[in-house]
């Protein structure tokens, strides 16, 4: 009878260890798998026209290509202030949400018109270089959020 109890305990411990290994393995795959459901295959730097605008003006941003394999996305947008080509501050722009497309989609090129809000100005209201930065977030599974960053080439805002 003591041997039967020992076998039940051993079986229970083995099942618990097996379950723990499966759970940890699933978590690791969910957290570490290199998802690329949203991507910019032609590069993540967009061109801007015109190169100089006034606050409240419009720019046309052209991305070489954009692909989405059926994921809903949330886009946080920023106008980065550039000094010597490096970002030193940022203005937050309104965020955007896009529902998941019906299936995989790739667009070459992707053209957007963006209105730069009146509050986006350089220090001392002087002509300043900016770039747009989009942080595109999506959830490939319930435990992970992936962020893809795309930026534009520099442009100037003049008062």
Determine the 3-state secondary structure of 23 from DSSP: helix
CB atoms within 10 A of CB 69: 17
Q: Whole-model pTM?
A: 0.81
Q: Give the C-alpha separation, 102 to 41, whole Å.
A: 20
Task: Output phi, psi for 79, to 5 deg.
Answer: -105, 105
Q: Lowest mean pLDDT: which of 16-20, 40-44, 79-83?
A: 16-20
- Sorted by sequence, the CB contacts under 8 Å of residue 26 that are 6+ apart come out as none
- Between 93 and 24, name the one with better pLDDT: 93
Task: Output phi, psi for 86, to 5 deg.
Answer: -110, 140
């Amino acid at each position: 009878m003591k041997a039967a109890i020992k076998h039940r305990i051993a079986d229970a411990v083995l099942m618990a260890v097996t379950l723990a290994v499966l759970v940890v393995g699933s978590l690791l795959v969910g957290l570490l798998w290199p998802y690329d459901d949203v991507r910019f295959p032609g590069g993540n730097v967009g061109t801007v026209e015109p190169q100089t605008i006034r606050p409240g003006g419009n720019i046309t941003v052209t991305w070489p290509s954009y692909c989405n394999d059926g994921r809903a996305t949330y886009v946080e947008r920023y106008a980065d202030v550039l000094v010597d080509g490096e970002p030193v501050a940022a203005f937050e722009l309104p965020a955007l949400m896009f529902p998941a497309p019906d299936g995989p989609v790739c667009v070459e090129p992707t053209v957007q018109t963006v209105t730069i809000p009146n509050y986006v100005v350089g220090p001392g209201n002087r002509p300043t270089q900016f770039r747009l930065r989009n942080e595109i977030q999506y959830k490939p599974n319930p435990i992970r959020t992936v962020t893809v960053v795309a930026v534009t080439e520099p442009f100037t805002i003049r008062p």
